[in-house]
Structure 1
Amino acid sequence: MRANVDFEDLHFERRPYDPQVAYAQAKTANSLFSVEATRRWQDHGIVTNTVNPGGVATGLQRNFTTAQKESLDAAEAAGVFTYKSIEQGAATTLVAAVAPEFAHTGGHYLDDGREAYPVPDDASLADHPHGVKRWALERAGALRLWEVSTALLTA
């Protein structure tokens, strides 16, 4: 599943809504926002980073289709995926908030308590569980998201 932001259909008006794709697109947008916000505001002492809490069983899954739920259950049974507790899911957010290495630098993507490493677009995150797709950190996408967001706010 490619999770790049679909700037031509942000609100799923011309494609079927898929909660997993919507979540992935939103997570990518969070990362791109972090990249551009840090670029714009770092000289003023403001930095921002993106956090992946991991799979935490929350109400988010209530809109998944039966097939999506079965796929997650199968992945968990195979040991590919494990749901985290709420506390475990919150841990990476705490690292982003208090770790000295992130106090003055931003635009990072954190996963499982550490900075994720960039992986190629075609890489499987199953093979790279603590990786982040390069498109989620690209400056061009970050700038486009900023411009689209600004236009939506002023429309």
Structure 2
Amino acid sequence: MSDFGSGTSTSEVIEGVDLKGKCALVTGASSGLGVETSRSLASAGAAVIMVARDASKLDTAVAQVRAAVPDAQLDTALLDLADLESVRAGAQTILAKCPSIQLLINNAGVMACPLMRTAQGFEMQLGTNHVGHFLLTCMLAPALVAGAPARVVNLSSAGHRFSAMDLDDPNYHRRDYEKWQAYGQSKTANALFSVGLDQRLQGQGVRSFAVHPGMIMTELSRHMDPSDMEIILAGRNIEDIGFKTVEQGSATSVWAATSQDLDGLGGLYLEDCHIAEPATPDNEAGIESYALDPVTADKLWQLSEDMVGENFNF
């Protein structure tokens, strides 16, 4: 579909793209992919709202972007995706700053943490990676519609292949907790949310995509130990793993947000700046059918509304 691939960087993707007059919002913007995604969008002229929960880290990230893009139009918003009240307050702050949004990149996440729970009692990975972003996105939907054509990019992962969505016990109240299974479930939820959101908002000019950024060593891996690396390596040498740089890892998010190749499309899972093929047992790439199933996407939407205690009728 494009001339890009796994080695493509954000600079290559954003070359020739003009985002002047557009507002972009990036969650998890205080480190790693979030900083680079913000820098890339700002370099093309977008006014970028960088969102994170730690004010000090966010200030440092803003300084990094300004150093790289001196004329960057940047603003910030603080919110904790693991606390729905914080999400609600942060969303109101964002709407006041930018009532019209063209690009929303739901980049923040947590991976392979011990069993922990959010402020409202959800399993931490599902609660942060999906539920918090679900509420934030739905609250920002009026601004996305006002800014149409608009795009929402949800960072999923090849880790979605670790687990389908368990709609009966999503928060591990009855089944034994396994951190990689829980991570996989949350990444499947990101892909399904992209399907459900696209179904509901495409008629109003808002399209949604899920993205696998690739394997990158960032703060996302802070909960990992040597045994976790053994799981990832699966008997291979580390030299055989195609780790990406942060610039390469952010490229598919930026491509999903800006590429004309994706005009008129949505509800898709993207990797290496391409639309992913169906997953096969002998290939680590690709998307499992359960992560794009529209029936499951609707069920997850209803479950998510129950979890946040609010209905969104778009």
Q: Please tell me the TM-score bracket, short chain as reference.
A: 0.7 to 0.9
- Report the CA distance between 1:144 and its aligned residue: 0.5
Q: 1:77 aligns with which of 238, 255, 278?
A: 238
Q: Distance in 1 between matches of 2:177 and 2:262?
A: 35
Q: What one-letter code is carried by the residue in structure 2 that aligns with 1:150?
A: E
Compared with structure 1, are the counterparts of its residues 19 and 84 closer, same or farther at alpha carbon in structure 2 (3 Å cutoff)?
A: farther
Q: 1:36 aligns with which of 189, 196, 200?
A: 196
Partner-residue secondary structure (3-state), 2:298: helix
Deviations 1:33-70 (A, max 9, x none): 11111111111001100000011112332323542222
Residue range with higher mean Cα deviation, 36-45 or 68-77:
68-77
Residue range with higher mean Cα deviation, 129-138 or 67-76:
67-76
TM-score by length of 1: 0.85
Q: 1:133 aligns with which of 276, 285, 288?
A: 288
Counterpart for residue 18 of structure 1: 178
Partner-residue secondary structure (3-state), 2:174: coil
Matches within 5 A, 1:1-155: 2-73=162-233, 74-77=235-238, 79=240, 81-119=241-279, 123-124=280-281, 127-154=282-309
Q: What one-letter code is carried by the residue in structure 2 that aligns with 1:154?
A: G
Please state which structure has a larger fraction of its residues in helix: 1
Q: Distance in 1 between matches of 2:202 and 2:236?
A: 40
Q: What one-letter code is carried by the residue in structure 2 that aligns with 1:131?
A: G
Deviations 1:70-98 (A, max 9, x none): 2324434372x322111111010011011
% identical equivalent positions: 33
Query: For structure 1, which runs of at least 5 residues remain unmatched after alignment?
Result: none
Deviations 1:18-43 (A, max 9, x none): 33222211111111111111111111
Partner-residue secondary structure (3-state), 2:287: strand
Q: What one-letter code is carried by the residue in structure 1 that aligns with 2:221?
A: Q
**RMSD of the alignment, in Å?**
2.0
Q: Distance in 2 between matches of 1:138 and 1:64?
A: 30
Residue range with higher mean Cα deviation, 6-15 or 85-94:
6-15
TM-score by length of 2: 0.44
Partner-residue secondary structure (3-state), 1:132: coil
Compared with structure 1, are the counterparts of its residues 58 and 15 closer, same or farther at alpha carbon in structure 2 (3 Å cutoff)?
A: farther
Structure showing greater relative contact order (alpha-carbon pairs closer than 8 Å, 6 or more residues apart): 1
Compared with structure 1, are the counterparts of its residues 34 and 19 closer, same or farther at alpha carbon in structure 2 (3 Å cutoff)?
A: same
Task: Give the greater-gyration-radius structure (CA).
Answer: 2
Q: Distance in 1 between matches of 2:242 and 2:237?
A: 5
Query: For structure 2, which runs of at least 5 residues remain unmatched after alignment?
Result: 1-160
Q: Distance in 2 between matches of 1:54 and 1:99?
A: 19
Partner-residue secondary structure (3-state), 1:47: strand
Equivalences, count: 149
Partner-residue secondary structure (3-state), 2:278: strand
Compared with structure 1, are the counterparts of its residues 149 and 76 closer, same or farther at alpha carbon in structure 2 (3 Å cutoff)?
A: farther
Q: What one-letter code is carried by the residue in structure 1 that aligns with 2:236?
A: A
